[in-house]
Chain A
């Protein structure tokens, strides 16, 4: 760490402090928490792109899987749904697994030819109908149970902290499947495949109400921290706040944000520490060697595809962990909020701007770009209102321009990416 890098981080904290004084500390801490989450996601993408040069554009899918993990791990189970529909769902899942295993075994064991193809198609088609035959009625039963508040299986009722790990596992599983299929082929196949899987994961979350309540959203996901209402009733808390001379309501929400912040810092520190260790280990050096010259690495006997699979799974898992953390911060799962722009593209810009291949760079990019992301919209408004100030009040063009300020984000982010890629491809904190 040199002075330049320290001052870059210092600058961001200065921004946050300015926000704290000029707007409110609640806003500042809210920003900080999302900065921390962004940093973790950026670390995940950096593992894939920075270490190994893998281009995956399905980050949003892995983040969303983390969100699902938060729901299925920590929400209280809906007893009736489990009793009536649970067995159906479980057997359906079992059928799906058996079908896929059977199909792959046929592919491996039966000698190539028309018989193998027919056999495999028969198993897959039969399995699909069996799966749907068991899933559909069970799902219908579950979705009828108290649809206004439940209508889904609920979760396992475990502490929400566990879900962060589960989110990582979910994402790792999905990454394993995608990586198995598309790694080892031309580089952009991974991009296309991840684009596809992300759309499907989000379609599942939006439509499988028995699992995630779909567009009805899951609200009230348990928190790993205290609740504002409880704090506001607690004697000791009120006394302490009074002693500090703050307002109780504001202080309680500040306290909650602060506790989230501490948890996030711990997770970020662990992942960052592990990433640094990995990057500077023989494994990390091998990864970079593969990235810089795949053919030479292959000639030296490295199994490039296998290494790529490893690094792709690890990076996706980190994104899954961050996804679960984010859902537990929000306390709700809203499928509509998973926009590729926000969770794939923005994270990519963070990594590129911060410095691909450098973990600290990814963290810096996460902080900086999140801040920017939040501030671009008001800035766009401000710029447009100056630009249009000469126009007649109520003119349709003026209104159109002011309404469109939100889209400035897209243009700005795209421009930042292209400019960095072109003029500073190493980013703010270049790889060592």
Chain B
């Protein structure tokens, strides 16, 4: 019985939140890894791209709420998502046209593109703060829980509750749909295959008559979709704050590197590895041990490996380990 209670505590505080967070990171890391694969640079503006798409979703959500549109019990943001995606595609394609395309034509080294992406980061960040402000925005309306902790207790008779938020399940379902669609596209359609071919061997793709500009455009469109979905899900699950999205860069890059830069499957696995590590290293296990150990052995401290302030240290340490021991990542990615 006590073991079961301990498991419920773990599920409630680690497994369920980590699955949701992992899906969000995986979608974010996918965007990063696709840009590395096709455009061959690390896009430091990816966090802002997510924030930008999410911002439009929030603005549309406000508009819909104002005119009384709602899809209760689901959050209105889902209705606004397509608009966010369109807005995000627009800004990303504009950035490509005015910034990245030049360096691509000039065959600049990746590091110049990375620096340009830093410039884009700040312009986008400024725009976002200009439009919606630097503060916290909560935009998750609709029902809060699928199962409340209290209901779970009365239902099952356990002493511990297991809560599942609507946003968490939406995250998982949406992520599965998006990822399935992405892999179907990459593996089954001619355009998707040409994208993989271009990412694999640019020169040979040219010899086969694959149009690089089209591949690049489609990549950006997919990246914008992934970024907006990831950003919106993260914002629904937690809150929207521009600076937080910038900070998401580190776990997302860590996820992409752990999986192997340029490898989509790797990005997903990496996302979950980072999410589970981050949450399980910063969780206080006191309650779990109280259930598992005899009463007089019960811990007095929080039994927390790291305070949540150091959650970035977890992604960073994993990143460092991968760089030290397996720079190509778990699944083979581009290392040079």
What residues make up the interface of A, taking CB atoms closer than 8 Å to B? Answer: 53, 55, 57, 128, 132, 136, 181-182, 185-189, 191-193, 195-197, 199-200, 203, 206-207, 340-341, 345, 348, 352, 403-404, 407-415, 417-418, 421-422
Contact = CB atoms under 8 A, between A and B. Distances in A.
B205 to A, nearest CB: 21
A9 to B, nearest CB: 26
B122 A200 contact: no
Interface string B295-329: 00000010001010110110110011001100100
B114 A191 contact: yes
A418 B250 contact: no
B119 A414 contact: yes
B312 A203 contact: yes
B335 interface: yes
Interface stretch (B57-65, B126-134, B160-168): B126-134
A86 to B, nearest CB: 22
A188 B324 CA distance: 15
Given A203-B310, A418-B116, A196 B122 contact: no
Contact of B320 (A193, A195, A345, A422): A193
Interface of B: 41-42, 44, 99, 102, 109-112, 114-116, 118-127, 129-131, 133-134, 246-247, 249-250, 253-254, 257, 261, 301, 305, 307, 309-310, 312-313, 315-316, 319-320, 323-324, 327, 334-336
Contact of B125 (A128, A188, A410): A410
Contacts of B319: 192-193, 196
A409 B123 contact: no
A196 B129 contact: no
A191 B316 CA distance: 12
A57 B44 contact: yes
Given A196-B312, A404-B130, A418-B123, A187 B111 contact: yes
B302 to A, nearest CB: 10
A55 B111 contact: yes
21 contacts: A57-B44, A128-B305, A187-B110, A187-B111, A187-B114, A191-B114, A195-B250, A196-B250, A196-B312, A196-B315, A199-B312, A200-B310, A200-B312, A200-B313, A207-B310, A403-B133, A410-B129, A414-B119, A421-B112, A421-B116, A421-B119
Nearest to B301: A136
B125 A181 contact: no
Contacts of B253: 192, 195
A200 B316 CA distance: 8
Contacts of B246: 340
A403 B257 CA distance: 39
Contacts of B114: 55, 187-188, 191
Contact of B122 (A186, A206, A207, A410): A410
Most buried by A among B129, B130, B307, B316: B130
A188 B112 CA distance: 10
B327 A189 contact: yes
A271 B127 CA distance: 37
A421 B100 CA distance: 11
Given A186-B334, A188-B111, A192-B257, A418 B120 contact: yes
Given A186-B336, A404-B130, A341 B122 contact: yes
A421 B129 CA distance: 24
A57 B129 contact: no
